[in-house]
Amino acid sequence: MSIVSLSTGEPTCTFEDVKAIAGANGFTIPPGSVDETAFHLFANAFDATCEAVSGLPEYEDPRLKPVAVDGGERKYYRPDANENPLNAWAHKTTLKASDAKGPLSGRTIAVKDNVSVGGLPLGLGCSPSLLKDGKHPISPIDAVVVQRLLAAGATIKGTATCENLSMFALSYTSHSGVVHNAWLPGYATGGSSSGCGALVSIGDVEEARRSGKDSKDYSLGEGVDMAVGGDQGGSIRLPAAYSGIYGLKPTHGLIPYTGIAALNPLIDHTGPMTRTIEDAALMLGVMAGYDGIDPRMTPESPMPDKVPNYAGDLQAWVAEKDKVGEWSAEGAAKGLRIGILKESFDVVGLDPSVADIVKAAAERFRSLSAEVNEISVPLHKHGAAIWTIAARPMMPHFVGGNPPDLLSHTMPHLQPNPINQNYFDTLAHRNPAAVNVLMNAAHMQRKYGPSLARKAHSHVWELRAAYDKALEEVDVLLTPCNNTVGPKQPASTAKTEENANGFSERLMDLFEPAIGNTLNTCSFNVTGHPAMSMPVGWGKVKEGGGRLPVGMQVVAKRWDEANIFRVARAWEVGGRWVDS
């Protein structure tokens, strides 16, 4: 009996199929040969195995079953422009776990539109034409972070607009249109967690209005206390910097990424975006900890019951300093060692005024009695290049819906269509960066083969070691986060009678404002160090009148988020950023 008859009884692969399969691997099998007959048999046996798995029903891991919520049924809607003037909401809902009480009780949260929330669409900021059946899937699962936030008493108010496929650092590539900065509509709020940045910052804008510090009266819509962002190269920290809030990319592997659409496990991170440093610490404590599913987590990742009490530890540290008379504008940072990363001020595109604001913010630590020194990490200037080459080849792999090499939960409900002409036509003038990723990966393979990515991975270890060595001398490294204040939304995104969808053929108008935005952020995605953007002042916009926030990035040793929180909290004793 043949192998085929053991499986299906009838061959499904022809000799032409065998020829094509061999050609795809760069070789030929002599036609009519014994070899061809054998591999034809093997191909049919393998195809029968494929069909056996293809016929199985989709499996939904019971560990990701949606949390029971008040009211039972999960309902959602897409808010109109009157309710959503900043275009920061993807979908709105109200989800609160039944009888849940915890540290986030009474707090409202939005999650980036690449995070699975059971019963809600998973939009990814992209056209539904890029997905199976031309529809955004309704998620049958709750991401682990969603489960944990609901269990801690939080109320999830909806999903926040994100940039197209999470592949842009500004806020005008989403399929739903531009996301406006809450401080100054018409200007970018940063990406790719653009809606998260806008929604969290609404509370600060409203407070500024109540206190008379902001006289503008444009509509903002409903905001939230906190948000769950995603970060592969700066996509939490940049919108936080542009929006004047706190955005933490935690240590790689500290928070499980299970149930969140990936770009590359090497660089995937999720983390809190909040109005205060205390809320960032509180939210991290809820979200962190091993989940038994995510391969990004390692033996270094703490079990849930071993996650530090970041908020409590910060409170205790402040109390101890207050007890000894140090919690003052003269002594709050005493004992902290601050490093100003020299090379971070030499990156291309850094606005001199932004550099001056960050330097002044860093120098404040001297008056707070910290030890402040300039630290040089020469390899930092190559960090963005190392990140690009190390991560780029695998990104098309995930955009195309392929699973990673290590076992993980692959979100079977999310099935992208094959990358083809429709992909290019849909994205080239909406988010050219998403097309460029494919072009880059193909160029690398065609010209260099896999050796270049392997080399870049070895330099990731070198880069991590370089930062580690610097962090032996200091507790944190400080860098600029956003190179400029939020730029004006490109004219080519404006809706006109001739251009109803709001995007023209001026492709470079979209690309140019984002060039260089991640030069100080992306290297910490490959090295895994925790990095947070904190607001430290105002910068003037270039076009017209107005001002927008400037962020300073604080980087610590891996697994040392506690020092990031301490440094930021001590800085605030010298005065809040909004008053600068």
Q: How far is CA 45 from CA 33, 74, 546, in A?
A: 19, 45, 68
Q: What DSSP state is assigned to residue 455?
A: H
Among residues 176, 235, 301, 523, the one annotated as catalytic is: 235
H/E run at residue 544: none
d(CA 74, CA 502): 32
Closest CA to 344 of 447, 499, 476: 476
d(CA 195, CA 245): 13
Active site residue 192: yes
Q: Which amino acid belongs to residue 235?
A: S
Q: How far is CA 151 from CA 95, 147, 385, in A?
A: 11, 6, 40
Closest CA to 190 of 554, 521, 579, 527: 521
Q: Which residues pair with 248 in a beta bridge?
A: 532
Residues 137 and 413: beta-carbon distance below 8 Å: yes
d(CA 111, CA 150): 12
d(CA 470, CA 252): 19
Among residues 127, 166, 174, 192, the one annotated as catalytic is: 192
Active site residue 157: no
Instruction: Phi first, then psi: give them for residue 268, nearest 5 degrees.
Output: -70, 130
Q: Which two tokens stand for residue 579?
A: 């008053």
Q: How far is CA 282 from CA 110, 159, 235, 268, 531, in A?
A: 16, 21, 21, 21, 16
Among residues 7, 92, 96, 112, the one annotated as catalytic is: 112
Contacts of 576 (CB under 8 A, 6+ apart): none
Closest CA to 204 of 139, 279, 260, 99: 279
Q: Which residues are catalytic, by number?
A: 112, 192, 235
